[in-house]
Amino acid sequence: MRKALTTMELPQWIKNLTDPAFTKTFREEPKDTLLPPFGYKPIIITDTHSDKLKVKNSANTAISLQNINQLQTQKAWQIAFGPARSIPMNFVMSYMSGTSLQIIPIMTTLMMLVGPIKALFGIATAFKPVLGNKDIEGQVRVAMVIYVLGQGALMFIGIRKLNQMGLLPNTTSDWLAWEKLVDYNKGIESYSF
């Protein structure tokens, strides 16, 4: 078996690939004679300084800048609607966890509060891919406001759940220790018969 492999003739393309003299025989085509790649559209722009026509790549023109701005705007809105997409899930989770004072409902409720607070402090990090472009700065600011409103809605679900569980001190019975005792019998003499 080994003998058959050593006596086998190498194909011509392998010999040509390893031969430096063969690669020197190729002539280089001028760039003007090559066909443009599929999908390439050269744009002819007149130069204002020399009144000459110039051909530029479509990747370097205002059209591609508009595409980049459009993509960054779409990304900003995608980030902005992220919290709004999780509102139904969090609402169903808060409903299904019940109102009993157990560790699981309390922890899920606290996570509904802590998550949006962390997200609000990290809003610059969340929008970092789209910040810095002056062309779409106004749209990014509006998207940031929508993001804050979505996080606020998530926090509202958590606060509502804490209220249902009775963990928010919003009734007078929660504050009895700090109320002053009112003596209604002060100044009234009582007689016993």
Q: Return the HEC string of the chain.
A: CHHHHHHCCCCHHHHHHHCHHHHCCCCCCCHHHCCCCCCCCCEEEECCCCCCEEEECHHHCHHHHHHHHHHHHHHHHHHHCHHHHCHHHHHHHHHHCCCCCCHHHHHHHHHHHHHHHHHHHCHHHHCCCCCCCHHHHHHHHHHHHHHHHHHHHHHHHHHHHHHHHCCCCCCHHHHHHHCCCCCCCCCCCCCCC
The pLDDT of residue 74: 92
- Pick 121 or 32 by higher pLDDT: 121
Per-residue confidence band for 58, with pLDDT thresholds at 50, 70 and 90: very low
C-alpha to C-alpha distances, 122 to 88, 110, 126, 144, nearest whole angstrom = 23, 18, 6, 11
Tell me the sheet residues that pair with 54. 45
| Cβ-count burial 53-89 (b if 16+ within 10 Å, e if not) | eeeeeeeeeeeeeeeeeeebbebbbebbeebeebeee
pLDDT in tens, 75-127: 999 999 999 999 999 999 888 888 888 888 888 888 889 999 999 999 999 99
Length of the chain in terms of residues written: 193
Cα–Cα distance for residue pair 127/154, rounded to 1 Å: 19
Per-residue confidence band for 59, with pLDDT thresholds at 50, 70 and 90: very low
pLDDT in tens, 129-161: 888 888 888 999 999 999 999 999 999 999 999
